[in-house]
Amino acid sequence: MNKNFIKYSWEEFEKLNLHQKVPLFNHGQTPYHCLIAQQFDRNFLDHLYHITNVIRAISKSKVGALFLQTILSDKRAMLYFMQPSTRTYLSFKTACQILGIQTSDVRDSSISSEVKGESSEDTIRTFSSYVDMIIMRHPGEGMAEKAAWVLEHSERPVPVLNAGSGKDQHPTQALLDIYTLRRSFENFGGLQGKTVLMAGDLMRGRTVRSLAQILTLFEGVKIIFSSPENFKMKQDVLNILRTQNVNFIETSEFKKYLPEADAIYMTRVQNEHDTDSFKSEQSFPDFSLNFDDLSKLKEHCAIMHPLPRRQEIDPKIDNDPRAKYWRQERNGMWTRAALMVIIFGKCNEVLNYWSDISKQVNHTAKANP
């Protein structure tokens, strides 16, 4: 339980800005509830990605996979998904399976007690009665924060992981995006100083909003925001970049910037957020990547997409080595598993296992040179 958190009434808590909320969501320097991208600093990312790499390496053998399944085998998680989702749902569920966490799903409000008039606070407390972690996606702005607040005021403050809430936050997506960028540039000097071209519906894409903010943690990164005039990145994010002295430009041209980009982050039109007064088309053909465009790209350029895609990337591009979106998808599973290991304080168990294995391998290698 976070002793500071419990002091705030909901009304007081709501008035805090994101940076004031961070210490309430964290235990020390690391996330306990994982709710907003502002919780991630550079140290945390470095640590998380190290754990991610170790988990991936361990999982390659059956004996390693079975070891991982013992890490959290006494834990249970709830997947509470009140919005359509395949990727994020499967990614979190699989991360749980990798670590031996047993899961329950609530994905359809018509078969749950909400139809009997239960408040969302009571629903969350009920979940916490049965599980050790709640992973939630909810259309309501701030619902994940509300859940964390409710639980911190109860006797069972289990961690809440935000798998997408409202139009704004989807913090674990940012984790996997940065991880994918870093792996893509492993042999090209790292993410520092790189140019990232983001294209499409930047106004409503919660992935690009989070990603842009986390990129401020990496020195010398330049961002090119390329979108139709009515779908530009919002000022709140741009102001943050200005404060951090991040180099960025806004443009309604896309193709012109392809040769310059070290990474291209394509996004889909988010028309699920259309309103009666604001309708968008299904896709923006001028902000799409065609097979012929490949020739204009740098040799190490990383092509990314949070998926699902519509017409933004020609499927013929899928087999080009620069296409990283399918790996990006799998990276989500690994970074989320690493996040859970950190939240439950099991890093040493994982690292010690890996260190023992590595010694054995070296020892055997020396004995059989």
Catalytic residues: 87-88, 116, 137, 170
Q: How far is the CB of 19 from a second copy (least distance, A)?
A: 29
Tokens of 76: 């249970």
Number of residues that bind a second copy (CB under 8 A): 59
**Which of 90, 240, 294, 317: binder of a second copy (CB under 8 A)?**
90
Q: How far is the CB of 201 from a second copy (least distance, A)?
A: 12
Tokens of 62: 């059956």
Work out whether the CA dihedral 39, 40, 44, 49 comes out positive or negative.
Answer: positive
Q: How far is the CB of 28 from a second copy (least distance, A)?
A: 23
Per-position DSSP letters for 207-269, written without gaps between them: HHHHHHHHHTTSTT-EEEEE--GGGPPPHHHHHHHHHTT-EEEEES--GGGGGG-SEEEE---
Q: Does 66 bind a second copy (CB under 8 A)?
A: yes
Instruction: Find the helix or strand (DSSP H, E) in which 160 lies.
Output: strand 160-165
Q: How many helices (H) and strands (E) does the chain have?
A: 12, 11
- Between CA 204 and CA 198 the distance in angstroms is 13
Contacts of 278 (CB under 8 A, 6+ apart): none
Q: Does 272 bind a second copy (CB under 8 A)?
A: yes
For residues 163-192, which are near a second copy according to CB under 8 A?
none
Interface mask toward a second copy for 91-130; x: CB under 8 A: x-xx--x----x-x-xxx-xxxxxxxxxx-xxx-xxx-xx
Bridge partners for 248 per DSSP: 223
User: Which segments of 286-353 are extended strands (E)?
Assistant: 302-304
Q: Does 299 bind a second copy (CB under 8 A)?
A: no
- Between CA 256 and CA 279 the distance in angstroms is 27
- Between CA 259 and CA 293 the distance in angstroms is 9
Q: Does 319 bind a second copy (CB under 8 A)?
A: yes
**Which of 20, 29, 73, 364: binder of a second copy (CB under 8 A)?**
73
- Between CA 248 and CA 51 the distance in angstroms is 31
Nearer CB in complex with a second copy: 157/248: 157
Nearer CB in complex with a second copy: 90/351: 90
Tokens of 139: 């259309």
Q: Does 69 bind a second copy (CB under 8 A)?
A: yes
Nearer CB in complex with a second copy: 46/118: 118
Kindly list the residues in this chain that would bind a second copy in the complex (CB under 8 A): 62, 65-66, 69, 73-74, 76, 78, 81, 84-87, 90-91, 93-94, 97, 102, 104, 106-108, 110-119, 121-123, 125-127, 129-131, 153-155, 268, 272, 282, 307-310, 315, 318-319, 326, 329-330, 333
